Amino acid sequence: MERVSIVKQALLAEIHAHMASLPACRNLRVGDVVHDPLRSHGGNWTTQGMHRSGYDHAEFECQKAMADFMTEMHERFDIVE
């Protein structure tokens, strides 16, 4: 599948919308989407930082719940400035 270009803010909005739908992620937000010059995740971007208001293990549980979604997003999108 060929990746589609998307602006960072739109990608971040999609990620946050999906996180809001998962009970494990309800107290977490991704800080930002930034360029990944090494493409270590597939797309040319990666997420940076998590903001949480929940308990200590919430980030791990959320990342586990988001794994398949994030893999799909990396396969589908490259970001543009």
Convert the pLDDT of each residue in 59-79 to its tens digit: 788 888 999 999 999 999 998
Convert the pLDDT of each residue in 16-33 to its tens digit: 999 999 998 888 889 999
| pLDDT value of position 33 | 94
Q: Dihedral of CA 69/71/75/78: which sign?
A: positive
How do the domains of the chain map onto residue ranges? 4-80
Cβ-contact 15, 59 below 8 angstroms? no
**How many Å from the N-terminal Cα to the C-terminal Cα in the chain?**
22
Helix, strand or coil for residue 35?
A: strand
Q: Is the pLDDT of residue 39 over 70?
A: yes
Residue partners of 7: CB distance under 8 A and separation at least 6: 79, 80, 81
Cα–Cα distance measured from residue 7 to residue 18, given in angstroms and rounded to the nearest whole number: 17
